[in-house]
Amino acid sequence: MVRPNPNPGQPSQRQLRVGEQVRHALAEVLQRGDIHDPELGGMVISVLEVRMSPDLRHGTVLVMPLGGKGEAEAVAALNRNAKELRHEVSRRLRELKYSPDLRFRVDDRYDETARIEKIFAQERVKRDLRHDEDDKNDE
């Protein structure tokens, strides 16, 4: 019996666990150089997160090349080798009923964080935040 997710819109514990297992397997495959693509062989790629679909048949892999350079080339090379990477992951994770399809994309959360920090550093925003704090203290 499948229990409904108590937090709709949030990944289930199973999705998180399988995503982490897939992340570790992919990191191992890339570290060992088990994929024979000359373009991938010259890159150091961090696998930061794997987001699994509710049925665990699809995984979105968030990656970042070392130094943040060559992001488009890295993602293109990974997507070009997605079938071989899927095969290597399934060899390492035999307990999964299905080997998930993998889609690779650049993890842009760091860029978004830097953008938000830049906004908060603006004098106009700092002034507004100080006024909000003053209003709270007056209550």
Nearest to 82 by CA among 132, 22, 137: 22
Strand partners of residue 52: 59
pLDDT of residue 36: 86
User: What pLDDT is recorded for position 95?
Assistant: 84
Give the model's pLDDT for residue 102: 97
Which residue is associated with the tokens 């060992």?
A: 32
Per-residue model confidence (pLDDT) at position 70: 86
The count of residues in the chain is: 139
Q: What is the model's pLDDT at position 34?
A: 85
- Count of CA atoms in the C-beta half-sphere (13 A) of 66: 8
In tens digits, the chain (139 residues) has pLDDT values of 456 666 667 889 999 999 999 999 999 999 998 888 888 888 899 999 999 999 999 999 999 998 778 899 999 999 999 999 999 999 999 888 888 999 999 987 766 666 677 777 878 877 777 765 665 665 5
Structural domains of the chain ordered from first start: 1-107 (3.30.300.20), 108-139 (no CATH)
pLDDT at 125: 74
pLDDT value, residue 112: 61
pLDDT of residue 47: 94
What pLDDT shows up at residue 129?
73
| Whole-number pLDDT of residue 2 | 53
Question: Taking the model in full, what pTM does it have?
Answer: 0.73
Alpha-carbon torsion (71, 76, 82, 84), positive or negative = negative
